[in-house]
Amino acid sequence: MRELGAGIVVIGNEILSGKTVDSNSSFLARELRQLGVTLKRITVIPDELDVIAETVRDFHQKFDIVFTSGGVGPTHDDITIEGVARALGRQVIVHPLLESKIREYLTDRPVNSAHLKMAEVPEGAELLMDDRLRFPTIKLENIYILPGIPEILQQKFLALKDRFSVDPYYLKIIYTNEIESTIAVHLNETLHEYPDLLLGSYPKIGNDEYRVKLTLESKDKNYVERAFAHLLNLLPQGCVVKTEG
């Protein structure tokens, strides 16, 4: 089975200070899971050049795919491009295609240094074009540089997503009306029998419908179905509210 491991680097003082809530990593996590990509790590870092370079270099070496989010605008704190370039020992250049698109977008208005900053890329970067997007996505080796604005990030990722598709995860869900401590022994027994199963247990407080949601995942459909049947057989009679998948 084909596996891809991914890492997400969220860049921005506004996230760390609580001024902005990060919704980009949760969006990417959901999308990647549906594509069969295993998200290995999410980290949030400040707008500091050395920190960006060090973190991106580490992720570049450890994971098959890296996504950065934020820090690609025209202002003083938008230093992601320079950080990614430094991570891989590259120079920052003005890409002629991006420059021409910016000049075209501005029509007869004067082009200033802030506008041209939006045309900067790490040397050797690839521009991923898509007819649905006004501007291409910048890719350097296995690093995809995405904006911090959620609406634009989502548009860019959805235009790219087909290139990341691998063997999917198969998911089964059990909702129970028992508390976790009552069913924990049955979860442990199931994992002993099916050690490669990805088994999650999520209590829900104040919910009239169920108390614990159990998720069973595997890239082997038959494996997860056998584990699902095994766990259902172990759970106390009458505790299962419903199942999905």
pLDDT in tens, the chain (245 residues): 678 999 999 999 999 999 999 999 999 999 999 999 999 999 999 999 999 999 999 999 999 999 999 999 888 889 999 999 999 999 999 999 998 888 887 887 888 888 889 899 999 999 999 888 888 999 999 999 999 999 999 999 999 999 999 999 999 999 999 999 999 999 999 999 999 999 999 999 988 899 999 999 999 999 999 999 999 999 999 999 999 99
With respect to CATH, is domain 5-164 assigned 3.40.250.10?
Answer: no
Residue range(s) occupied by CATH 3.30.70.2860 in the chain: 170-244
pTM for this model (two decimals): 0.91
Specify whether the CB–CB gap between 164 and 204 falls below 8 A: no
Fold classified for 170-244: Alpha-Beta Plaits (3.30.70)
Residue range(s) occupied by CATH 3.40.980.10 in the chain: 5-164
